[in-house]
Chain A
């Protein structure tokens, strides 16, 4: 059953993070790792938020807003996926915990929101152009305070649209919950395997998107060191 107060909470937080991404502050509260983790914490499932945020942080690592070029909207992807994953977990009852199956499903279903977000950002640009023209007209009439305050009106469409999108993701998450628990075992296992598989793909994209010289060597070097360390620890535990 859908908990509408949680849906509203997800929507409001998603809308605020959408503003932080570009319109206000840009202190990186809207980065996938932070945005998804905070969404998970707010909705009562921090594990799902963290897992989704980690993967999407790596996936969107190299994206940058340079000049007039618009990158994919990493924030709506993170808030939408984490809201859906946390809601899906919560819908399975008290004590339910997020699983890689749910995380993978949320990312498969809502990861593309980044592309939709870019289209929405582009779609809202003419509204801001109109605001700028209005501000110029007001300044010419000597209404300076009202002219410069037009700047703040550019934020509300972003807030409303992204809050609605994240709220919708949360509702879909609630509705998916009962279905996920009834998935055939093999499909459920496949989806669970999909989470680390997508994570490895996202990390490869991150290594490439780091813009570092010799990024392949650096990434391969640390991957080997971590894998060997993990294997050594596993062998030691096995021997003990």
Chain B
């Protein structure tokens, strides 16, 4: 396998190579990946927008540049953070295509092969594990930290998110197709399972805080009774959700019960 299009200097690039500045521009533009998400091409326009500076650098010839842009306006959809790995890999392949080392079908196959599995991995880790875990933990910490809990949310989440996003982009650039092996070594599903436990435990702590603290503060002499009532409501709500009771219906039912209790007791 030949060398990937590693950046040589900040602003200049040799044929088939992309400068560091251009790579930074691609990464920055990748943050707009879903700006025009649509049901037909999904992230296609966002991908073409992100890649454009690199394609311009790799193909000075307008005909080849147009062909390159058009092959990245086809359907594309993956988890937006994991897209960084595909972007890096696409630049790796486009560099090889520009140097005449492989055909354009390689980069199309690369995208098609990776977008599904990376989406599944990213959805499972970021959307269904990291975000709920950090969200529930910080929500449960609101009584102790106040508004700082919101800042803690941003720090905890983005330390992981931004580090992985940058790392995935670099891995794609350096390894091309071989990035799959490296991503597998990160053991994201195992970390995800642990994080989901943190989410559930933190939600339980939040129920107890809301019941005990606000119940005793609002209930006057009957504070303990009110706190136990809220706890029982939490258990009942969990049971209702397990029976697929609607979330909005549950929220408004809880409100109605409390308003009725407050008005008539």
| Contact call A50/B263, Cβ cutoff below 8 A | no
| Contact call A28/B203, Cβ cutoff below 8 A | no
User: Given A61-B132, A210-B203, does the pair A37, B147 have CB atoms closer than 8 Å?
Assistant: yes
| Contact call A24/B251, Cβ cutoff below 8 A | no
- Bound complex: CA of A224 vs CA of B205, how far in Å? 8
Is residue B196 within 8 Å, beta carbon to beta carbon, of the partner chain?
Answer: yes
- Bound complex: CA of A201 vs CA of B254, how far in Å? 7
- Bound complex: CA of A201 vs CA of B237, how far in Å? 5
| Contact call B158/A28, Cβ cutoff below 8 A | yes
Q: Mark A142-157, 1 if CB is under 8 A from B, else 0.
A: 1011011111111100
Interface residues of A in 88-140 (CB under 8 A from B): 100, 104, 107-108, 111-112, 115, 125, 128-129, 131-132, 135-136, 139-140
B216 smallest CB distance to A (angstroms): 7
In the complex, the chain B residue whose C-beta lies closest to that of A122 is B39
| Contact call B73/A135, Cβ cutoff below 8 A | yes
**Stretch in A10-18, A63-71, A161-169, A172-180 touching the partner:** A63-71
- Bound complex: CA of A224 vs CA of B55, how far in Å? 58
A39 smallest CB distance to B (angstroms): 11
Is residue A33 within 8 Å, beta carbon to beta carbon, of the partner chain?
Answer: yes
Is residue A54 within 8 Å, beta carbon to beta carbon, of the partner chain?
Answer: yes
| Contact call A223/B231, Cβ cutoff below 8 A | yes
User: Given A149-B49, A154-B36, does the pair A210, B237 have CB atoms closer than 8 Å?
Assistant: no
Is residue B100 within 8 Å, beta carbon to beta carbon, of the partner chain?
Answer: no
A44 smallest CB distance to B (angstroms): 13
From B34, B138, B200, A212 is in contact (CB under 8 Å) with B200
| Contact call A211/B128, Cβ cutoff below 8 A | yes
In the complex, the chain B residue whose C-beta lies closest to that of A22 is B34
Is residue A219 within 8 Å, beta carbon to beta carbon, of the partner chain?
Answer: yes
- Bound complex: CA of A27 vs CA of B142, how far in Å? 20
B75 smallest CB distance to A (angstroms): 10
- Bound complex: CA of A136 vs CA of B262, how far in Å? 60
- Bound complex: CA of A129 vs CA of B75, how far in Å? 12
- B242 CB contacts on chain A under 8 angstroms: 208
Is residue B186 within 8 Å, beta carbon to beta carbon, of the partner chain?
Answer: no
Is residue B175 within 8 Å, beta carbon to beta carbon, of the partner chain?
Answer: no
| Contact call B247/A59, Cβ cutoff below 8 A | yes
- Bound complex: CA of A59 vs CA of B215, how far in Å? 20
Interface residues of B in 65-94 (CB under 8 A from A): 65-66, 69-70, 73, 77, 80-81
Is residue A240 within 8 Å, beta carbon to beta carbon, of the partner chain?
Answer: no
- A193 CB contacts on chain B under 8 angstroms: 218, 226, 258-259, 261-262
Is residue B161 within 8 Å, beta carbon to beta carbon, of the partner chain?
Answer: yes
| Contact call B135/A25, Cβ cutoff below 8 A | no
**Stretch in B2-10, B104-112, B148-156 touching the partner:** B148-156
- A84 CB contacts on chain B under 8 angstroms: none
User: Given A57-B139, A144-B65, A204-B237, does the pair A38, B150 have CB atoms closer than 8 Å?
Assistant: yes
- Bound complex: CA of A226 vs CA of B210, how far in Å? 10
Is residue A5 within 8 Å, beta carbon to beta carbon, of the partner chain?
Answer: no
- A136 CB contacts on chain B under 8 angstroms: 70, 73
| Contact call A142/B132, Cβ cutoff below 8 A | no
Among B40, B133, B253: residue with most chain A CB under 10 A: B40
Among A66, A128, A196, A225: residue with most chain B CB under 10 A: A196
- A213 CB contacts on chain B under 8 angstroms: 193, 196-197
- B238 CB contacts on chain A under 8 angstroms: 204, 207-208, 216, 219
- Bound complex: CA of A54 vs CA of B40, how far in Å? 36
| Contact call B132/A211, Cβ cutoff below 8 A | yes
Q: Mark B178-214, 1 if CB is under 8 A from A, else 0.
A: 0000000000000001001101111111111111111
From B37, B39, B65, B263, A189 is in contact (CB under 8 Å) with B263
From B38, B250, B254, A132 is in contact (CB under 8 Å) with B38
| Contact call B40/A132, Cβ cutoff below 8 A | yes
Q: Which 8 A-B pairs have the closest CB atoms?
A: A190-B262, A154-B36, A219-B204, A210-B199, A204-B237, A197-B258, A226-B208, A190-B259
A residues bordering B, Cβ < 8 Å? 22-29, 31, 33-34, 37-38, 41, 46, 49-50, 53-54, 57-59, 61-62, 64-68, 100, 104, 107-108, 111-112, 115, 125, 128-129, 131-132, 135-136, 139-140, 142, 144-145, 147-155, 186-187, 189-216, 218-227, 230-231, 234
